[in-house]
């Protein structure tokens, strides 16, 4: 996957917690994400990444 090739990582919302599960399920069908999180945990991860990336 190109994202990982260039040092990125992937985050997918847990399909069991998604309002519509088809989009995260499609992502999971393509590859294993680095993070599989609830929507709240995705928000926390983004805050933490912003804090540590700078």
Tell me what pLDDT residue 54 has.
Answer: 61
Global pTM? 0.83
**What does the mean pLDDT of the chain come to?**
93
pLDDT band at 42 (very low <50, low <70, confident <90, very high): very high
Q: What residue ranges do the domains of the chain occupy?
A: 2-53
Q: Which residues are 12's β-sheet partners?
A: 36
Quick check: 53 pLDDT over 80?
no
For 47, the token pair is 């805050």
Torsion angle (degrees, nearest 10) of CA 43, 2, 15, 22: 120
Mean predicted confidence (pLDDT) in 22-41: 96
Quick check: 1 pLDDT over 80?
no
Q: Are 37 and 11 in contact (CB under 8 A)?
A: yes
């Amino acid at each position: 996957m190109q994202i990982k090739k260039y040092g990125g990582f992937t985050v997918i919302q847990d399909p069991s917690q998604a309002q519509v599960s088809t989009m995260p399920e499609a992502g999971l069908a393509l590859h294993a994400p680095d993070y599989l999180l609830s929507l709240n945990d995705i928000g926390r991860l983004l805050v933490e990444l912003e804090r540590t990336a700078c």
